[in-house]
Amino acid sequence: IIVVPTSNCYTFDNESRLVDFTHLIGNVFEYKEQDLVVEFCKDVQKRSQEGYLEFGRFHSFLTGSGPIDYIQKMHNGDLVHCETTFHKMGRTAQVNIICGHCSNKVCKDEQGCICNISYHERMCRVIVELAIRCVKSGPRVFKGFTVGFHPRSSEIVYNGFTQPGFEQPHHGFSFQTEQIHVSLYLSAKSSLSGLVGKPTFKVNPVKGLGVTLAGSGFNDAMPSTLSPTVLNVDWRCEIVRTSPYEVHIFIPVEGYDPIEFTLTKKCGYRQKGWAKFGIVSCVFIVLSCILCCGGFIYKTRTLGLDALPGIAVLSALLDAVGRVNPNSHAS
């Protein structure tokens, strides 16, 4: 299961694989030549005897290109003499991260070091080149994919990440016994919607909860942001259980790691479905029709037209109408 990282200090490589730098949050990298300090995923400062000059706080972590592997952007630094620059965001910084070593020097620190810096627009912006030991890329995330309880929500999966509460069984997120239907809405980028496969599921324990999947999301329809598909989960309690049942739903995505999440269902009492009643009713109606048709055919062959319903009444009526009145003949 691809769970959303515990911090916002993560990004993706050029193949959409997750790269989590949470372990480096707050690590300090100093550039002593110009008294510049980078606190990883926090901020960039220029420290001197006159005090600290803030060049922005962590804002976003992006994928780089060429020799630059990743980019951290810092916004909303000190405003002094930079009140009107960069959309009034004050001082800003951009940290260009290189996985490996500097091209112009050797880092003494095993974690990495600042290779060089450059100031722009009269010191309202600084660009830092930082070389570090990058972590190994993780799973390939299907970015843009969401799963929620409404067409425009993403409580279960957001941007390809399974959200807290659905990555493993949580009693606080369990559905009640009387909730026999749950509708999930799936959406993805239109250009990649054809990669989404047919969902499957596993129930733990195997016996005790009857589960079926249906809807457009189960019938190979392509989800998109404008027209999400619906995955209907129908479940009924067959065996009462003190702890909730676990339903693990698995959505394959071609070329990416699958989307996985867990729903839990409480079963405080046994639920009798209408399926058996419907089947018995259909069988009874069919048998009744067959018996009626068979009886009618038999009577028709043995009694002729007299077997038709109401034929005796009709004959008597016609006989009464056609009977000649004796008084009319006398006149």
CB atoms within 10 A of CB 273: 12
Delimit the domains of the chain by residue range: 10-132, 146-267
- The mean pLDDT of 92-115, rounded to a whole number, is 92
Q: How confident is the model at residue 312 (pLDDT cuts 50, 70, 90)?
A: low
Rounded (to 5) percent helix, strand, coil in the chain? 20, 35, 45
* CATH level 2 (architecture), domain 10-132: Distorted Sandwich (2.70)
Query: Rounded mean pLDDT of 168-194?
Result: 94
Residues 6 or more apart in contact with residue 137 via CB below 8 angstroms: 13, 15, 17, 18, 19
pLDDT digits (tens, 9 = 90+) for 205-252: 999 999 999 999 999 899 999 999 999 999 999 999 999 999 999 999
Percent of the chain's residues with pLDDT above 70 = 82
The CATH classification number of 146-267 equals 2.60.40
Domains 10-132 and 146-267 share a fold: no
- Which band of pLDDT confidence, cut at 50, 70 and 90, is reported for residue 122? confident
pLDDT tens for 41-86 read 999 999 887 788 999 999 999 999 999 999 999 999 998 888 877 6
Please report where in the chains the tokens 């999947």 appear, as a residue.
213
